Each structure stands twice: as C-alpha cells, then as structure tokens.
Amino acid sequence: NDSGIPRKVIIELLKSKKLQNAAPLDKAKAIFDFVRKSMTWNDESSAGTWSDNSETWKLRSGNSAAINLLLLRTLVQEGITAYPMLVGLRKSGYVHKDYPVWGNFRSVVVVIEQIGKEKILLDASDKFTPFSIPPYDVLNNYGYILRGPKDASWHYAVGQASNDETAYIKAKLDSAGLLRGEIKTRYNNYAQATYREMKADGPNYKIFNA
C-alpha cells in the first residue's frame, strides 16, 4: 500500500494547528511530531520492513524503517519534498561510501531537501530529538539518499547545533540564614533530547541503572 496516514487525519491535524496554508517546513514539523507521538517503536532498527504503510498505521507500531517510511509517504502526500535515506548507526560502525556493504545500513531516516539550505534528517522512531537537528545515532556517518531508480547520492550527516544548558536561579536568604528559592533549567538540541528521555523513563532511564 503506497498511501501514508489517511488524508482526513492529516487535514484535521493541520486544521487544528491552523497550518492549512502554512509553509512546508511548518507542516512537516507538525506531521513529524504527530507521527512519532502516534507510533510505538518496537526497539528494532532496520533498513527494511515487511509491513506496508496501512498495516503500520493500523498497528501504530513498527521498526525504524516502517515508522519512517510511513512518515515519508505522509509528507510526500502533503507536497513536501522528502526522500528515504539508508543510514548506518554510530553503535554499529562506519559506512564506507567507496565500498559500501549492505549490512552496514542499519536503518532508514527521512530527508527533507530545500534548495540552497541544509538537509533536514528526521527519525520518527526517536521521540525526543528536536525537529531541526539530525538524529544523534546517525551523526558523523554517511547515508545514501534514494530519490529515484537512477537518482541517488551520498550525504554526510553532521550536527551543527551546539548543546546549551542554562540555569536560572531566583533565591534569597530567609530570617534563619537559609537560601530559599527556585532553580529553572533550560536545555536545547541533544541535551534537551537526553533530559526529555530521562523525564519520560524516570527511574528506569539507563543512567540510573549503569
């Protein structure tokens, strides 16, 4: 099945966010956020899937390829220029473009291309990384963009964003000489993704069980 998420669902999504006539990237972000919130990743990273898009949407679950191919087709349905990109993962080793081996491709992500601008890489199986930065697992590795039967190219995934952690402290000494108040912290980019994951997992997060 070559369809993405049912069109009526996406129309209602864009209508609810007042994005019917929005710029393509604003629509893409809304669709990306919707897909990754709607789907459950089965913890399997793969460059292929046995599920078609309709089955993936019905199950609301799948491996990385199934989820991202559903995202891809939905974006394309809405007129957004996007393509699949086969990728290696940091934990699985480096992809050599001069002598690629199929087994080195461990997942599929979505590429949004804009003329004269940096490509945007999306992985809807990752619920925490912000829309505007590449998935951490594919950083500093090559991916292979598939635009058509005779149109493909290599892309090196590089993260330009810096990680900022900012703390705001509002406090004062009370009559007993104790400092009382509140601390607010703000994180962005990969730091933001890490803390979102920690908050979602609570005591089960890997850092607490290392």
Can you give the length of the chain in residues? 210
Average pLDDT over residues 187-203: 58
Average pLDDT over residues 20-35: 94
User: Which of 95-104, 145-154, 196-205 is predicted most confidently?
Assistant: 145-154
Prediction pTM value: 0.79
**d(C-alpha 136, C-alpha 87), whole Å:** 12
Pairing, β 82-87 against β 107-112: antiparallel
Residue 135 pLDDT greater than 80, yes or no = yes
Give bridge partners of residue 179 from the DSSP assignment. 173
- pLDDT range class, residue 130, cuts 50, 70, 90: confident
Which pLDDT does position 179 carry in this prediction? 79
Give bridge partners of residue 40 from the DSSP assignment. 61
Which pLDDT does position 160 carry in this prediction? 61
- The per-residue pLDDT of the chain, averaged, comes to 86
- pLDDT range class, residue 192, cuts 50, 70, 90: low
Q: Which tokens belong to 150?
A: 């005779």
Looking at per-residue pLDDT, the higher value among 43 and 200 belongs to 43
Average pLDDT over residues 43-60: 94
- pLDDT range class, residue 136, cuts 50, 70, 90: confident
